[in-house]
Chain A
Amino acid sequence: MTANSERLPEGGRIDRTKPLRATVDGIEILGYRGDTVASAMLANGIRTVAPSLYRSRPRGILGAGNEEPNALVRVERRGSSPMLPATTVELTEGLPVHTLSGIGALEPNSEAKDLDTRFAHTDVLVVGGGPTGLAAALAASEGDARVLLLDDQPELGGALLRGTDAELLDWAGGAAELLRARPEVTVVSRCTAFGYYDENYLLAVERGETLDRQRLWKIRAHHVVLATGANERPIVFAGNDLPGVMLADATRAYVNRYAALPGSEAVIATTNDTAYEAALDLAAAGVSVRAIVDSRAEPPEDLAAMACQAGIEVLADCVVAEATGTDSVAAVRIVRFEQPRRTVRTIRADLLAVSGGWSPDVGLFSQSGGKLRWNETLAAFLPEHSRQRQHIAGAARGRYGFARCVADGRFAGVSAAESCGYPAPDSPLRPGISERATRVETEQRPVWIVPAETGKPAEWREHFVDLQRDATVADIARACGAGMRSPEHIKRYTTIGTGSDQGRTSGLTAVGVLAWLRGMGSPGALGTTSFRAPAVPVSFELLAGRDTGKLLDPVRTTPIHPAHRELGAEFENVGQWKRPWYYAREGEGMHEAVLRECAAARTGVAMMDASTLGKIDLIGPDAGEFLNRLYTNGFKKLAIGSARYGVMCGCDGMVFDDGVVLRLSENHYTLTTTTGGAAGVLDWFEEWLQTEWIELDVWATSVTEQWSTVAVVGPRSREVIGAIAPELAVSNAEFPFMTVRETVLGNGIPARIVRVSFSGELAYEVNVANWHGLAAWREIERAGAGFGITPYGTETMHVLRAEKGFPIVGQDTDGTVTPIDLGMDWIVSKRKDFIGKRSLSRPDTARADRKQLVGLLPDEHGTLIPEGSQLIGEHTPVTPEVAPVPMLGHVTSSYHSAALGRTFALALLRSGRERIGQTVRTPVGDRLVSATVTEPIFYDKEGARRDG
């Protein structure tokens, strides 16, 4: 072979002024802009690709598009996919191509690609830029409708590009120009629609000219026109996988579009009219076409005459029984179609062009919920009934031939635009084109399989059905033998149709073979396997788009974040929030830092950014009543200027959220929610207000990020508050526990200060407008410096509250815990009704042996029990003989306590309150350790510290 040796001297749609060099498996090839890797390989005499995956059989290029099962390649280029069909990769300068046996390898460190996503909306979406799609897009856009046309090739024209009819190609060029000139038309080339979902939502992948650029289109269309064309089918006979066996229409593509010769001596095997065009085009290109083998007894006279004129013998009523050759096709043995199948001739050939008929590409139609029906005349499943606002037109519904496609496309385009409110003015297509005569096709004679003359089907291991999966008639016969009957079962048993080519050349063939094996006339009664997205392979990274790296999930920060960074905080993810976890000083680990922060809060003063708590304002005369109905305790009588802690349950009585409610005025309350519960609580409020209690006069508004909050905690916190808020009277009498004060800080910032405590210590929460959060933090830091004010993070906050036995909703509860289980009977109103109250007396909720919140003190004071650890009884055996070991509950919170000088934990324990004083055991590493069950409060049981 020599470079470009099989390139025709002229013709084709390649750009001969743009020569390109590339390598295939290290061998240099020459090509042109407009080539695919496959066409350049053929033009350079490379007809064999990597051997097959499972049986290592020699393989060649079968097709010329995304139906290709054999010619898979890896391209050594930044951002390339691991495996691509050579028939779809555009040749570019210097491309290093390696053929692959069916399995690519992912690049573990694939470099960044230019991946994009875009949403698109259109009145009419046309899928496919062949004659049908072009006609549809032209017609649809005549009345100013917005039209989006997707085509998977670099050049519009579809099947026309495989022909040589200059007039039709001109028409396509003109149509493309016209479309591009219309302002409301968008034409996207190199774009393949691969998914069709509810409400005309389609996904499509657009490829750049280089392999590292891809864009995902997310399209909503009012109306869709599917002009997806048809796929040619192969025929199953012995040796049908040899290099040199090619789809007939693909051979046309190679000689006409790419000016590349796929062989020098050809036999054509067909069941229908279309392969005659291939025969004539091959002959015109200089290929010696030895015979057309036509399954039909009487091929159409006009076609036979044309073949005769070109010097091609037509063998009617014949089929190919076998292709033979060691590494590629060398000879073709032809037999009579009718029994007995005696051999008619054996012809030397290096190219066997096959047409087993056409299957409309109904994949997207079928994905959209459309129903198919078998058509005996066309030997194909055709669209019958659409479920969505769509038309399917042209070859995709079995309307073959240019004139019919254009007429069908035009009709679809006009109807589609009309349904969107854009009736097309009555302007016919360019004169002459729509009237162009096309011969009416004659009937075909389907051939699914040419049986071997000897042996049983289960032995026919050279009759290939799925080339990518190396699956044969023998495999289908074995599946039948194992009791499989339906195409769906056969597919899963044999893996036919599960390759990256999505079974484009094997799906219906397999059903045809199955029908033959089962003695049925045609595949019609068996149906097809389901078509599913993606119709072509797409990478996960394309679907992820820009939602990777720092855009994977929003990172939420408070306005005080810069200060946390300056202080060297370690951050903890709390939902999407980044919250300071602890602030380690030089030489400290987390353990030391947390002990120091805890000690500061218990003995001096400490500060924390509490801005992430959810905040909701409730305004209206019924706000108190509304709160009364949602919280387990009462708020209607809460004094203005006062605060109260509350718990909310779901209808099932399980704790759902908690927080502090402040009453700012007669009709105005504001409340906090947990950090993670903010959105859910507001939704919950709105649900009741909008759907159930519409008579209540209350307005709920999220104010979470209007406010920034700094907690100032510790025995010396009053002094710090006094220092930052000179106008505020801060004595215990003038500013008592659970009250709120509005003031202006010394630096002029308006603030709402609340005396609440989540640690048991004297504590305040300073609320300022979000944009003042950082300034307020710095002011408190400045004012507190003299008192050694210590910033603390979420870990210290958790330790301080756990020492006091304050549960955290979502950590110490999990949606199966009632306020009673938490030991919060004191907060559950006996007098009023509230959401969830009825459920507290359900038999299951009222059981005495429910899991209840308790404290645990490990017998070894330094041993920290991991959170989540399971608890078992003191004497429960743990030998395998008595498995399963009965579990009593689990640890929900566990810490080292600076105040206690030891470790402690909170746990949900079956009949926990009855077990106080008893011992339980739990695994720590490889050991079982013992812990004493206690009341869930460890520090300042009398509550003496909250007033400082």
Chain B
Amino acid sequence: MTASLLRTSPLGEREAEFAASGMDIREAGFRAMVNVRVDSASAAADAIGIALGVPLPVVPNTVCGGERAAVWLGPDEWLIYGADGDTPRITALATEALGPVSGSVLDLSANRTTIEISGARAREVLAKGCALDLHPRVFGEGHCAQTLIGKTQVLLWQYGNAPDYRILVRASFANYLADWLLDAAASGW
């Protein structure tokens, strides 16, 4: 039996509720997430970007890349995001590129799960509990932010123009956030 079949995701039991919500909303579980910390001005930062094929963005709250992406978390901190199963490769490439330079590469793939929410009402539903200005002039495709939705911390990331958002939330808060989003989506307002 392979270990990957034994995984459970925090919102695995909520699929039907998402489907019935009238919104384009779903859990994207088991995505690769590797935390990288390194001085952004160092050659190692560049080397990691080259090795991964996605530069580590230096503009705060932005994302570089496509299916494999580097998400800005702080001036010396990024989350490398990828498809399910990409974690070992990301970890190996980043660790090797970092070399003896001070920094850290840590697998955090199971730390958070991803909720994807798309479509015309997505922005409006998020605005019910997210204090960020999500207007396209301010927060568009390729923007990310660590912020609060309702009462939980999230990493919010607009990855498409539908608009499409990814909300990365710590596993233990995922059900709260799902409850919150479903309640907000069901509002008659």
Direct touching of A and B (C-beta under 8 Å): yes
Q: What is A's interface to B at a CB cutoff of 8 Å?
A: 114, 116-121, 146, 213, 215, 218, 220, 546-547, 550-551, 553-559, 562, 577, 617, 619-621, 697, 699, 701-708, 747-750, 769-775
B104 within 8 A of A: yes
Chain A residues with Cβ below 8 Å from B3 are 747-750, 772
Contact B188 A213 (CB under 8 A): yes
Contact A620 B179 (CB under 8 A): no
Contact A749 B171 (CB under 8 A): no
Residues 108-132 of chain B, each 1 if its beta carbon lies under 8 Å from chain A, else 0: 1111100000000000100111111
Chain A residues with Cβ below 8 Å from B35 are 701
Q: B127 touches which one: A120, A555, A577 (CB < 8 A)?
A: A120
> Known: A118-B128, A555-B175, A703-B106. Is A772-B183 also a contact (CB below 8 A)?
no
Q: What is B's interface to A at a CB cutoff of 8 Å?
A: 1-3, 6-10, 29-30, 35, 37, 102-104, 106-112, 124, 127-133, 135, 137-138, 150-152, 170-173, 175-176, 179-180, 183-184, 187-189
Contact A620 B102 (CB under 8 A): yes
Name the distance in Å between B95's Cβ and chain A's nearest Cβ. Answer: 11
16 residue pairs of the A-B complex, CB under 8 angstroms, read A117-B129, A119-B129, A119-B131, A120-B127, A546-B187, A554-B152, A557-B172, A619-B37, A701-B37, A701-B106, A749-B3, A771-B7, A771-B29, A771-B110, A772-B6, A772-B110
Name the distance in Å between A553's Cβ and chain B's nearest Cβ. Answer: 7
Contact A546 B104 (CB under 8 A): no
Complex Cα–Cα for A775 and B124 (A)? 38
Chain A residues with Cβ below 8 Å from B170 are 704-705
> Known: A554-B151, A554-B152. Is A775-B6 also a contact (CB below 8 A)?
yes
Contact A546 B8 (CB under 8 A): no
Chain B residues with Cβ below 8 Å from A621 are 102
Q: A556 touches which one: B7, B110, B131, B173 (CB < 8 A)?
A: B173
Chain B residues with Cβ below 8 Å from A555 are 175-176
Complex Cα–Cα for A772 and B111 (A)? 12
Chain B residues with Cβ below 8 Å from A769 are 7, 109-110
Complex Cα–Cα for A709 and B30 (A)? 19
Complex Cα–Cα for A121 and B132 (A)? 8
Contact B112 A146 (CB under 8 A): no
Q: A557 touches which one: B1, B152, B175 (CB < 8 A)?
A: B175
Chain B residues with Cβ below 8 Å from A748 are 1-3, 6
Chain A residues with Cβ below 8 Å from B138 are 121
Contact B8 A775 (CB under 8 A): yes
Q: A117 touches which one: B9, B128, B132 (CB < 8 A)?
A: B128
Contact B108 A703 (CB under 8 A): yes
Chain A residues with Cβ below 8 Å from B176 are 551, 554-556
> Known: A116-B128, A747-B6. Is A705-B133 also a contact (CB below 8 A)?
no
Name the distance in Å between B64's Cβ and chain A's nearest Cβ. Answer: 21
Name the distance in Å between A198's Cβ and chain B's nearest Cβ. Answer: 14
Complex Cα–Cα for A702 and B146 (A)? 15
> Known: A550-B179, A551-B150, A699-B37. Is A619-B128 also a contact (CB below 8 A)?
no
Chain B residues with Cβ below 8 Å from A114 are 187-189
Complex Cα–Cα for A550 and B189 (A)? 20
Q: A770 touches which one: B103, B110, B175 (CB < 8 A)?
A: B110
Top 8 A-B residue pairs of the complex, sorted by shortest distance between their CB atoms = A121-B133, A775-B6, A556-B172, A770-B110, A116-B189, A554-B176, A619-B104, A771-B7
Interface of A is mostly: mixed
Complex Cα–Cα for A619 and B188 (A)? 49
> Known: A114-B187, A701-B35, A705-B172. Is A617-B6 also a contact (CB below 8 A)?
no
Chain B residues with Cβ below 8 Å from A220 are 131, 133
Complex Cα–Cα for A146 and B176 (A)? 33
* B9, closest chain A residue (CB): A771
> Known: A551-B180, A705-B172. Is A617-B104 also a contact (CB below 8 A)?
yes
Name the distance in Å between A821's Cβ and chain B's nearest Cβ. Answer: 33
* B188, closest chain A residue (CB): A114
Contact B151 A705 (CB under 8 A): no
* A771, closest chain B residue (CB): B7
Which of A213, A769, A770 counts the most B-chain CB atoms under 10 A from its CB? A770
Complex Cα–Cα for A748 and B3 (A)? 5
Name the distance in Å between A673's Cβ and chain B's nearest Cβ. Answer: 15
Complex Cα–Cα for A933 and B133 (A)? 61
Complex Cα–Cα for A770 and B172 (A)? 10
Contact A547 B151 (CB under 8 A): yes
Contact B109 A215 (CB under 8 A): no
Contact A697 B102 (CB under 8 A): yes
Chain A residues with Cβ below 8 Å from B1 are 747-748
Chain B residues with Cβ below 8 Å from A550 are 179
Contact B133 A706 (CB under 8 A): no
Complex Cα–Cα for A265 and B127 (A)? 53
Complex Cα–Cα for A590 and B1 (A)? 39
Contact A772 B150 (CB under 8 A): no
Chain B residues with Cβ below 8 Å from A546 are 128-129, 150, 180, 183-184, 187
Chain A residues with Cβ below 8 Å from B129 are 117, 119, 546
> Known: A551-B150, A706-B111, A749-B6. Is A559-B171 also a contact (CB below 8 A)?
yes
Contact A699 B135 (CB under 8 A): no
Name the distance in Å between B177's Cβ and chain A's nearest Cβ. Answer: 8
Complex Cα–Cα for A919 and B106 (A)? 54
Which of B127, B128, B150, B173 counts the most A-chain CB atoms under 10 A from its CB? B128
Q: A559 touches which one: B2, B8, B30, B173 (CB < 8 A)?
A: B8
Complex Cα–Cα for A421 and B67 (A)? 37
Q: A213 touches which one: B131, B183, B189 (CB < 8 A)?
A: B189
Complex Cα–Cα for A620 and B127 (A)? 40
> Known: A559-B171, A701-B37, A775-B7. Is A706-B107 also a contact (CB below 8 A)?
yes
> Known: A116-B187, A556-B173. Is A218-B131 also a contact (CB below 8 A)?
yes
Q: B189 touches which one: A215, A704, A771 (CB < 8 A)?
A: A215
Contact A770 B150 (CB under 8 A): no
Contact A551 B179 (CB under 8 A): yes
Name the distance in Å between A634's Cβ and chain B's nearest Cβ. Answer: 23
Complex Cα–Cα for A249 and B138 (A)? 44
Name the distance in Å between A117's Cβ and chain B's nearest Cβ. Answer: 6
Name the distance in Å between A707's Cβ and chain B's nearest Cβ. Answer: 8
Name the distance in Å between B182's Cβ and chain A's nearest Cβ. Answer: 10
Complex Cα–Cα for A551 and B152 (A)? 11
Beyond the given A213-B189, A557-B175, A619-B37, could you list 13 further A-B residue pairs with CB under 8 A, ordered by the A residue number? A114-B188, A146-B135, A551-B150, A551-B179, A555-B175, A559-B8, A699-B104, A703-B108, A708-B110, A747-B1, A771-B7, A771-B8, A771-B109
